[in-house]
Amino acid sequence: MQTVGLIDYDRGNLRSVEKALERVGCQVVLVETRDDFARVDPQVIVLPGVGAFGDAMRNLEERDLIIPIKEWLSENRPFLGICLGYQLLFEESEESPGVEGIGYFPGKVVRFPDSVGKVPHMGWNQVSWQSDHKSALRDVFSSNPYYYHVHSYYPAVESRGNRGQCETEYGIRIISGMTEGNIAAFQFHPEKSQEAGINLLRCLFETQFSSNR
């Protein structure tokens, strides 16, 4: 059983994420301050989130969580970002000009163009693996499963050879998830995606995170 530190910064439905993690055999402990990293001593950190980019970064800063998250990422320790928690890993967002993101991944989060139709993008969409990168997740995405999405913004990033990535099409094709070493993050919500989401989490925690520790 892996101990998971679930970041609590008042940005997200923590209970649904917690229940999904428990279903795949994780012991979940809330991490609310910098001191909790040492107190909890987690094996994996999960950063969920819904809402605005700028508000989320301010909440993380107020709880002194940005530095320990950056340190965790720099050490390539197992980390999962979900929805807004995926976007926060980038450098900046059009949603909150002037607010710096965590900056683990290079790039900017941008709003869907009006040409895609209804924004926010809300509902079930297929996700496909679009990388030659060797990853335990390739088999999970082999059937192009459907996952639940709710977002108006997405990271505008380029393909990169040493990174695993998946894509979703909603008027345009976007990179809706990336993995790099022990770091994984997704725009969609595995915890709201029924068995497809549980299968993804199970693969992450039983295979990818375990083998890379």
Q: Tell me, what's the pLDDT at 160?
A: 65
Give the pLDDT mean for 53-67: 97
Beta sheet of 108-111, edge-to-edge order: 92-93, 108-111, 153-156
Is 114 a residue whose pLDDT tops 60?
yes
Is 213 a residue whose pLDDT tops 60?
no
Catalytic residue among 18, 92, 95, 191: 191
Is 84 in a helix, a strand, or coil? helix
Catalytic residue among 121, 149, 151, 189: 189
* H/E segment holding residue 52: none
Q: Is 83 annotated in the active site?
A: yes
Question: Which of the 8 DSSP states describes residue 113?
Answer: P
Nearby residues of 205 by Cβ (< 8 Å), 6 or more positions away: 2, 21, 24, 25, 26, 44
Is 144 a residue whose pLDDT tops 90?
yes
Long-range pairs, 17-20, Cβ under 8 A, ≥24: 17/46, 17/48, 17/82, 17/191, 19/191, 20/190, 20/191, 20/197, 20/198, 20/201
Q: Is 149 annotated in the active site?
A: no
Q: Is the pTM of this model over 0.75?
A: yes
Catalytic residue among 26, 83, 166, 203: 83
Q: Is the peptide bond before 145 cis (omega within 30 degrees of 0)?
A: no
Is 199 a residue whose pLDDT tops 80?
yes
Q: Tell me, what's the pLDDT at 142?
A: 87
Residue-wise pLDDT tens digits, 74-84 = 999 999 999 99
